[in-house]
């Protein structure tokens, strides 16, 4: 199902419907400040499992917690003053920050790494949805290969310790209607405008020295 929205003035009735669907375990596609993302509620274990299956990714560095404020980071991740100041400088924007998780986060999100990617997109649609939902969204970048996912042929990238490669431009979507090719989506929030086919910059902040796992739209170093 596609809901047409005006990103600068989203109908509250559509937001309320999307929130109810997410609370019930739905998978939702929406535009961000980079490309399209597919999201679910972090409070639905069933939805997280569906998102993982849909994504075809085993490496959890591909998954990101979308937040509306830095205060939501500290509920699941360790964040000292140095990292806070840098993140505060770069958000909202096209950056994913890999941080060490707090005790219990791995079990809560059913992840195997003691680290998590978090970000605050500079775009009204995910921010309004998170604010209305009152908690972050678990997300992954929408890719055309998701329309042809074979659970037995998932990407074998975990435990490699290597950087994450850029996502090929032709793998990304521009228009909301294109995402109808992906089975398993319950809702597409479509602002009716083409999105740039770009991806975020991923910064690993789990050690003293910050490492770029993937160069994207966010400039680094700054």
Q: What is the pLDDT of residue 50?
A: 93
Torsional sign, CA 214, 183, 8, 128: negative
Q: What is the pLDDT of residue 222?
A: 87
Q: Which residues pair with 28 in a beta bridge?
A: 39, 187
Inside any domain, residue 222: no
Structural domain that includes position 111: 2-214
Inside any domain, residue 190: yes
Give the chain's domain count: 1
Tokens describing residue 190: 């479509």
Residue recorded with tokens 């990407």: 155
Inside any domain, residue 219: no
Give the sheet arrangement for strand 64-66, strand by strand: 2-4, 187-190, 28-31, 36-41, 137-141, 64-66, 115-119, 95-100, 201-204, 211-214
Closest by CA to 190, choosing from 145, 119, 142, is: 142
pTM over 0.75: yes
Q: What is the pLDDT of residue 148?
A: 76
Q: How far apart are CA 7 and CA 31, in angstroms?
A: 9
Low-confidence stretches of the chain (pLDDT beneath 50)? 151-160
Inside any domain, residue 146: yes
Q: What is the pLDDT of residue 109?
A: 85
Q: CATH no. for residue 107?
A: 3.90.870.10
Q: What is the pLDDT of residue 156?
A: 43
Tokens describing residue 215: 């160069």
Inside any domain, residue 128: yes
Q: What is the pLDDT of residue 59?
A: 67
Inside any domain, residue 40: yes
């Amino acid at each position: 199902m596609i809901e047409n929205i005006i990103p600068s003035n989203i109908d509250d009735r559509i937001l309320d419907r999307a929130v109810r669907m997410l609370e019930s375990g739905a998978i939702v596609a929406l535009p961000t400040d980079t490309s399209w993302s597919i999201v679910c509620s972090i409070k639905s274990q069933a939805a997280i499992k569906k998102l993982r299956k849909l994504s075809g990714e085993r490496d959890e560095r591909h998954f990101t917690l979308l937040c509306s404020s830095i205060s939501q980071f500290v509920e699941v991740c360790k964040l000292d003053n140095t990292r806070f100041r840098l993140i505060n400088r770069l958000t909202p924007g096209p950056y994913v920050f890999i941080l060490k998780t707090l005790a219990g986060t791995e079990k809560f999100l059913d992840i195997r790494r003691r680290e998590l990617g978090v970000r605050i997109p500079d775009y009204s649609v995910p921010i309004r949805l998170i604010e209305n939902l009152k908690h972050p969204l678990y997300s992954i970048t929408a890719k055309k290969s998701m329309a042809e996912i074979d659970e037995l042929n998932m990407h074998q990238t975990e435990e490699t310790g290597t950087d994450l490669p850029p996502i090929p431009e032709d793998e990304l979507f521009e228009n909301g209607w294109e995402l109808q090719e992906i089975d398993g989506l319950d809702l597409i929030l479509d602002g009716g405008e083409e999105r740039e086919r770009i991806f975020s910059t991923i910064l690993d902040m789990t050690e003293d020295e910050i490492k770029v796992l993937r160069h994207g739209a966010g400039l680094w170093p700054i």
